[in-house]
Amino acid sequence: MRNSVVKSKLRRNEPALITCLHYVDPTLFEMTSLMGFDGIWMDLEHHHYSVETAANLMRAARVGGSDIVARPGKGEFMRMARLLEAGAQCIMYPRCESAAEAAEVVRWSKFAPLGERGVDGANADAPYCAAPMKQYLKKANEETLLIVQIESPRALEEVEAIAKVPGVDVVMIGPGDLSVLAGVPFEFDHPTMVHARKRVAAAAKDAGIHWGTTSPTPEHSKMLMDMGARFICHGADILFIKRALEQIQEQYGALGFTFDNRLAAMAAELQNCV
């Protein structure tokens, strides 16, 4: 069980920057980790790859220093445990709706006496039957970081209770789902979303834990940090590549090259439907 970079920074009230990797090329995980990002967000809620694939990507990341921030699907407590055994330092749990559900996250991600996580020392976290078990269990409980996501109006109404559940380290706004379910889809500056940020920030402060969310720009991140956020998620590989390809088309279009950009056509068609 490696020490969590993200948890170490949060303990010092320092900001931690997490970036999201969707593609399943181990080289990408290796490079990002070697570059020293605090955490790599591995999203198994919305993407289709297996725990076996996730374990190989984590293995590539271990050459560097980045934490793996693994997000299972809602209610996937056993999958969550397997991700921890494969070497994830952090669990990002989606669509948490209540303190009782947050307590279940703690229950299945922490060993006794803090929870009821099953014990197996034969995987990367122990590692591989090499660790003295009493010391490993204690360190795993100390270093595993738990992030619960606030992604619905119902969850927002429960955030004060969720934040006070022992074992929860971070409450995180999921702005996409929250905005859609609140009836203001992707209007992230809408008063509803501004209120959500303020309420989550206050709940985290009152509970003595941290809060965070995704952020599109450094300026937005600075605003969040001024509100006390320390868990900042920015960017994704699919967006980096898309923007680079768009830049190439823009530069070479000026030289007379043409492109049958079907993505742009589909986006324009959808825009006309609104």
DSSP 158-182: THHHHHTSTT--EEEE-HHHHHHHT
CATH number at residue 175: 3.20.20.60
Report the amino acid identity of residue 189: D
Share the mean pLDDT of the chain: 97
- Name the domain count of the chain: 1
Please give the pLDDT value at position 113.
97
Contact 205, 228 (CB under 8 A): yes
Give the C-alpha separation, 174 to 212, whole Å.
9
Confidence check: pLDDT of 27 > 70: yes
Question: Which domain range does residue 143 map to?
Answer: 5-273
Give the C-alpha separation, 22 to 236, whole Å.
7
pLDDT tens digits, residue range 50-86?
Answer: 999 999 999 999 999 999 999 999 999 999 999 999 9
CA distances from 209 to 32, 105, 170, 268 (A): 27, 16, 6, 43
Give the C-alpha separation, 216 to 234, whole Å.
6
pLDDT tens digits, residue range 200-255?
Answer: 999 999 999 999 999 999 999 999 999 999 999 999 999 999 999 999 999 999 99
Name the pLDDT band for 274 (thresholds 50, 70, 90): low
What's the gap between Cα 112 and its chain centre?
A: 25
The whole-model pTM stands at 0.95
pLDDT tens digits, residue range 7-17?
Answer: 999 999 999 99
Q: DSSP secondary-structure letter at 265?
A: H
> Which token pair is 258?
């043409």
Residue 52 burial (10 A CB sphere; 0-12, 13-18, 19+): exposed
171 - beta bridge partners?
148, 211
Confidence check: pLDDT of 46 > 80: yes
